[in-house]
Structure 1
Amino acid sequence: MFVLLLSIPLAFIYGVRRYGAKALLLFFAVTFVVSNFFEKLSISTGFPCGHHHYTGSPKLIDVPIFIHPVYFGLGYLCRQVANVLLDEADTRLSWRAGTGRRVNVVALPMTAAAIMTMFDLGSDSIASTVNHLWIWERGGGVFGVPCTNYLGWWLVTTGSSRSSPFTWPAAGHPCEAPGSMCRCSGFSSTQGSGSAPSRISRPHRATTSRMRPEPSGTNVISSRDTP
Structure 2
Amino acid sequence: MLKFIFICLLIANALLFALGRGYFASPIFEAHQPQRLLQQQNGDHLKLISAEMATAPVIPDVVEPTKSETFACLEWGSFLTTDLNQVEAKLKAIPFGNRQARQNVQDVATHIVFIPPLANKEAADKKALELTHLGVHDFFIISDQSAMRWGISLGVFKSEDAAKQLMATLVAKGVHSAKIGARTVATNKFNYVFKNVSGSERSDLDNLKTDFPEQDLHVCK
Q: Mark yes or no: TM-score above 0.5.
A: no
Greater per-residue strand proportion: 2
Q: TM-score normalised to the size of structure 1? A: 0.21
Greater per-residue helix proportion: 1
Q: TM-score normalised to the size of structure 2? A: 0.21
